[in-house]
Structure 1
C-alpha cells in the first residue's frame, strides 16, 4: 500500500547528502513506492534550479542505478541549490517612527528553502503517468484499473498507465514473467509490450516470459496474437499452445501442452502424463531453478505423476522410486543416472 510521501526526507537529504542517517531514510522511502523516484528527481531538479523534465522522459532504471550508487557510496558530494548571489545589505535610515531591519542571509535562505518545499509539495500531489511494479525473490499480483489482474513471478518488472486510453489498454513487461488474466472488453483491445514482441488480446488468460533467448508466450484460455515489432512474423495461439520467439526477430517455434506446466510458478502444480524424462527434467529445471543432467539412455523413460508444491527433494525421491533411477542433488546441480 502506498504511503503519504514525506517531503522532509527528501529536503533533509538535499541539505546534507553526506549524512548517513539521511541517506538511510531516503533509501527506505524510495523503496516504499516506485513512484517516489520520480518525486525525488523532480524535487532535486527544483532544488538545483534545473528545468523539470516531463515524467515520461525519465530513464527510470538508469536513475535507480544512480540513486543506489549515491546512497551506498562512502562519501557523497554535497548538492547545493542554484540561487542568485546575496547582495550586500545596505543600512537604510528610516523615518522617525523607527528603523527598517535588514533581511539577514539566514532568513533569506530559510525563505528560499520554504519556497522550494512548497513547490516540491505541489509536485508530490501530481500523479505520475505510469505506475511501476517490481518483484525481488517473491511473487506478487496486482489489479489494473480495467479489472485485469497481473500475476508477477520473481525478478519481474512491469509498468502500466495510471489511466488507460479510451480505445486501448497497454502494459509493458520490462523483464521477467507475467501471467495475465484479461478483463473481457472487445471494444478496448489489451496489449502487452516487450522488447521486441507485442502481444494483442481481447479477453483471455496467458503467460508471457522474457528470457535471454527471446520471449515465450503460453495461452491458458482464449486467443492471443504475438507479433514481432519488426512486423515480419506473427503467430496466433489458442489454449494449450506455447510459442517461443527468438531475439533474432524471425524465428517462431510452437508446441502444444497437455497440461499447465508453463504456469506452474503460479499454480504450484506440475503434471506429467507419460512425459519423457528429458521433458520432465526441463520442467523441473525451470520450476526449481536448478541444472539437471540426465544420463544417456534414460531420456525416454516415461513419468506419470502430479506434484503440488512439493519440495525438490520430495519430487526427486518419487521420481527415483517410480522410474527406478538414482537422483543425486548437490547444491543447484541434479544428476539422474
Structure 2
C-alpha cells in the first residue's frame, strides 16, 4: 500500500506538471507495470479532466483529508448502504478513489472557488484578471473566470474567439475548453472556437495543449505555431502560424512574411469582412508587408502596386484578376 501511495503522489504531481520528463518517465513505467495500474491511471485522468478542482490534491494532506471525510460519513451502525454496483466499482479502484473523494470533499468544504461569466454580443470587449492577465473577447464570445485568483489560475472558454495576454507567474495559467486544456506561465495566444473545433495560435512564449482525447500526449507550441483540433474525430493539425494573423480582430494589424497572394486575400477577407475572388493567372510572388489600421482601399492599392493584377470592387465584393 505504501508503494501505491508513493505512485499516487507522483501521479498527482505529474498531472499538475506533465512537462516534467522525470515524472513522465516514472509514471509511464508505473502504468506499464500492470493492467491494474493502467486502469487506475485512466480513471484518475478522466476525473482530473472532468474537474479541474481536483488539482488541489497535491496541496492537501491526503491522510488528514481521508480522516475528515470518514468523520463526516454516517456511522457504520446505521442502515445506510452503498448500491452494490457502485460498491463493486469503488472496491476495484480502492487505491485511488478514497484519496480523490476525500480531497474533493475537503476542497469543496473549505475552499470553494466562485466564478464569474463574461460574454459579448456585437462588440469586442476585454477584462483584466486579478493576476493582471488581460483577456480580449471577440463578438459573440463567452468565458468563465475565477472571482479571486488562487494558486492555480484557471478559466473556462465556452464560445467564440479570445486573445490572452498572460501575466508571468510561478503558477500555471490554464484555459479549459471542454475536455481540452491549454497551460502557460506567461505568454500571449489566440483561441478560436468554431462549433466544436478549436484553433490555437501562439504569438509570444510557449504553451502546452492537451486534447483530452484517448490519452493523446500533449502538444507544445511556441511563438509562430498553431493547431487546429477536432474533438469529435480526435484529429489535430499543427501548422506554421507566422502569417495566420489570428489576432488581427483585436490588433487591427496584418503582418505578412513571404505570404502567397491567396493567403493574403483570405486574411484581408476575414479582417475587413469582404469577399475576394481570384481570377486569371495568379502571381507567384510572395508578399512582405505590414498593414496597421489601414483602410481597405489602401490595402488594395498596395496589392495592385505589388502584383500584375487588376482590382475591381463592388461594395463588399472584390474581384482580383491576374494579368
Q: Does the alignment pair 1:198 with 2:176?
A: no
TM-score (norm 1): 0.56
Q: Distance in 1 between matches of 2:256 and 2:172?
A: 35
Structure 1 position 134, deviation (Å): 1.7
Q: Is residue 303 of structure 1 aligned with residue 283 of structure 2?
A: no
Change in Cα spacing, 1:292 to 1:196, as seen in structure 2 (3 Å) is: farther
Establish whether residue 141 from structure 1 lines up as the match of residue 88 from structure 2.
Answer: no
Q: 1:276 to 1:181 in 2, by over 3 A?
A: same
CA deviations on 1:262-312 (whole Å, 9 max, x unpaired) are 222222221223311111012112222233221253163422322111122
Task: Note the residue ranges of structure 2 that are not aligned, 5 or more in a row.
Answer: 1-112
Corresponding residue for 2:262? 278
Q: In 1, Cα distance between the equivalents of 2:280 and 2:221?
A: 34
Q: Deviations over 1:195-247 (max 9, x none)?
A: 35211112211111112461111112221111112233531101111111124
Say whether residues 1:155 and 2:152 are aligned partners: no
Q: CA separation of 1:299/1:158 partners in 2, compared to 1, >3 Å: closer, same or farther?
A: farther
Aligned CA RMSD, in angstroms, stands at 2.4
Residues 67-106 of structure 1 mapped to structure 2, 5 A cutoff: none
Give the C-alpha shift of residue 162 in structure 1. 0.9
1:274–1:304 CA contact under 8 A, matched in 2: yes
Identify the match of residue 164 of structure 1 among 149, 169, 172.
149
Report the CA distance shift for 1:233/1:312 in structure 2 as closer, same or farther (over 3 A): farther
Distance 1:262 1:305 in 2: 16
State the match for 1:208 in structure 2: 191
Bigger fraction of residues in helix: 2
Q: Can you give the 5+ residue segments of structure 1 that lack an aligned partner in the other structure? A: 1-127
Normalised TM-score (structure 2): 0.59
| 1:249/1:202 CA distance change after superposition, 3 Å | farther
CA distance in 2, matches of 1:248, 1:227: 15
Report the CA distance shift for 1:162/1:241 in structure 2 as closer, same or farther (over 3 A).
Answer: same
Q: What residue is the counterpart of 1:131 in the other structure?
A: 116
The aligned counterpart of 2:236 is: 252
Aligned to 2:314: 330
Once residues 158 and 296 of structure 1 are traced to their aligned partners in structure 2, the CA distance between those partners, rounded to angstroms, is 44
* Secondary structure of the structure 2 residue equivalent to 1:146: coil
- In 2, Cα distance between the equivalents of 1:203 and 1:228? 20
Aligned to 1:295, the other structure's residue is in SS state strand
Whole-angstrom CA distance in 2 between matches of 1:258 and 1:237: 12
Equivalent residue number for residue 207 of structure 2: 224
Determine if contact 1:209/1:216 at 8 Å carries over to the other structure: yes
- The answer to whether 1:235 aligns with 2:214 is no
Aligned 1:39-118 pairs, distance under 5 A? none
Inter-CA distance 221–306: structure 2 relative to 1 (3 Å threshold):
closer
3-state DSSP of counterpart to 2:246: helix
